[in-house]
Structure 1
Amino acid sequence: MMSSTLRTLMAGYQITYFIFISSLLVHTHSADNIYSAEMPQTVTALTGSCVQIPCTFNISNFEDKRKTAKSIYGIWLKNKSQFADEDSFIAFNSSKNIIRGFSDVQMTGNLSESNCTTVFYNIMMNHSDSYYFRLEMEPNVFRATFNPSTDVSRKTVRINVRDSPQPPELKPNDLKVMEETTVNLICSAEAPCPKQPPTISWSNIPESAHITTQLQEKPDKNQSVFSYMTFKASYKDHRRNISCTATYPRNTPVASTVETIVMLRVLFPPKGTCVIITPSVGTNVTLTCKSRASPSNDLNYTWYKHGEEKPIAWGMKINLTKTQNQIGSYHCIAQNKYGKQSSEEAQCAVKGQSGLSHLVIYGCTGGLLAFVLLSAVFFYYMRTKASRQAHVIGSDQAEDKNRDTTAIYTNNATAISKNDEKKETDELHYGEIDFSKLQTGHKTREHSNNGPETEYSELQVTERKKQINSAQKMDELYAQVQKK
């Protein structure tokens, strides 16, 4: 009884020991063959261009295996991961330089450095599929296909082929900034074919913009072209549509061009506040307060009249009619949550109908009086000017007449002396001449004791021309008296 029990216990220990040893061996074998690969789950290719699949792998004790192996090969399988399956499609096999379904395939990565990056050229639409990477280290050191269906740590990649590229990505896509702040805008375009990367251009950008562009690798190992633009936001750039354009070269007659647009929204207080009067003068006038601000939906307007401290109205527009009978200067203040601004004062002439009539009457009367006054001044000036000219002319003519008259009266005096030789005892009298009477039209007479009476005609001055003749005659009379 005891012996049978011992035999049973011994048998149990043996089985347990065997299971332990077996599990240890299995675990050691599995640990010796742990492997994984890192590659993007999806890459997007453009027809007529190439596509690069970034790929790295990790194998336990790889350095020891690499030293043991005489050669390392990389294989890409399409659609299925079973290498030995008759239906499996080998797109590329570096061991035999097999290329199927592609014009060219190049493994740019160094397999000895755990890099399996591969470039597929001249991509066509039928190349869209899942691709599996397989590594073989010969002779019989390591052979495995990195298949995600058996282990989540092992990955594969899917190539999606498109006729047109994806539009570039703009960040931030909601570009709302404060005035005078520095803005950093990033435009990125995928570069599935690094040997033919897209070119990025900007349009409708602010004047202060500074741009730098470079090719970079993203966290998923794919590459993209990044263009960075920096500028200072101005209120003048509000609602500016900034566009980023990516141009993809490919083996087709026409390159592919795609763009992305983002609207720049700048937040700023009111700018350019002013008052617009329509019409400028009249019986019904509308005053409008104009201002530019962002945001504009919460813009408030307050109206003031010159000389009054309290506001007279609120709102964008105010109406002044003839019943109000208001004349004065008005200004408005525009305000949003970022600040406020006051307009310049605007002179508004608004009168009722009667007041307007009085203004017209007063204006006409004043204009008539001004016309009469100017006319009087003009005639006075012309008369004075003519009088001065007449005086100058009269003086010149008087000098000439004096010379002629002297000669004439000299001859007359000689004749008179011959006729009056018998009257030597007669006394000579000089007549008295009143020049003021000559100018006013009175008669002047000259008497002699024995001689005949000399009478001079009356001089009547009615015009400026007669004044000149009067002056000449006075000179002649004076000369006759002197001779007598």
Structure 2
Amino acid sequence: MSFSAAAATGFVVLFLSVTVGEDEPAWSVKYDPSQICAFRGSTVTIKCSYKYPSRIQGIKTEVKNKIWFTKGNNLVPLDLMNDSDYKDRITYNVTKSSSSSFLTIKDLKQRDSAKYKFRFITNQPGGAFTGSPGVTLTVLDPDLRVQVRRSETQTELKCESSCDQIKPPSYVWFNKEEKMEQQTSSIVVSVRDGGRYSCSVKGHDDLRSPSVYAPRPPSVSVTPSGEIMEGSLVTLSCSSDANPAANYSWYKEGEEAPKASGQNFTITNILFKQRGNYYCEAQNSRGRCNSTVTVNVVAAPRNRVAAAAAAVSAVLLILILICLLVWLIRKTKVWKQQSRPGAGPVPSEQVNPAEESVAYSVVHLATKQEEPLYCNTVQLGPTRPKRHKKRKEEETVEYASVNCGRTRTDARTESEKQDSVEDPAALYSKVNKPGKNSRETPAGF
């Protein structure tokens, strides 16, 4: 056999020796996973599995060296053990019985972001192999965060990080420092749940996101404190421990509309009517809470005098109105009495009662007997000279009934009583009443 034929034959034998099957090469390196995202300061482990022919031309294959590298090339790599950037931060987990290799890097730095490859060297001539394409490691700041999506009945918490866009890691959850069973990227809790939730990447419990929770009761204050003079500058302040950060709104008790928004509420020229209780409401996607502060405003001295004067004026006005009301009531009563039926119009000329004359009735008695009769006189008024009547037709006649009683000077018998006949003579009494409307009143006994 010629050299060329032998060489060709040897090539075929070598090819057949290193090939296990048509689909699976004899020399190979597999990386799992091919992309890794890790946080700065954490520890990461990169692993791979490799294969090689057990024998070549009757010679048992043995692995002499295993290295990981990021610098150099596939034929002339720079072992990480000799790279000053990784000094005292890397370890190789090498086992002779296993066809796998592990690279562990501690205290990751952002400059550690690179593509890592594995190369093994055997005892066979030219028996070295480098796996491609390698493992891409990305080192980022530990910016784990919890996104909150709230509905009317429940709240969804989702753990996120910058690694999600590269290769989403597996997350674990914590509630008030206790590790939960859920190992998913999101969990659902009640709207009124008062827990403090945080998350971390699985296997890195020491790197956690900030906890999310509803606002705690706000701390409120007013400046200046105590009694505040009317016209002063007043500032109300509010703060609450909450994550996500809380939004603040200011309300006055008894009013529905908010007075202001933000942590501080400033009133440049406060009025006396603005005194009262104000409360601050802190709210975020996890819940809400509020606290109250009292603003005690006192009137300025000049305003006190004005207020006192206004009060006195109000009292005087009320008294005047009361007096006017009493006068109107009395006036109404007099008008009603004068307007009753039969009362007649009020005469234009009023006569002084002291000037009214006293008239005595003159009684003429006529009887058949000579018995003395006595009659009571009636005093009608003080005497007054008669006035001439202007109109005769205005004169009226009034009648008065006068009762007269008889008295005897001696006792009479029953027969004499029967014999005596009373003379029903008419007696007339003339009454003179001075004034325009003088009246003559005959009186009969």
Q: TM-score range by the shorter chain?
A: 0.3 to 0.5
Rg larger for = 2
State the TM-score, normalizing by the size of structure 2: 0.33
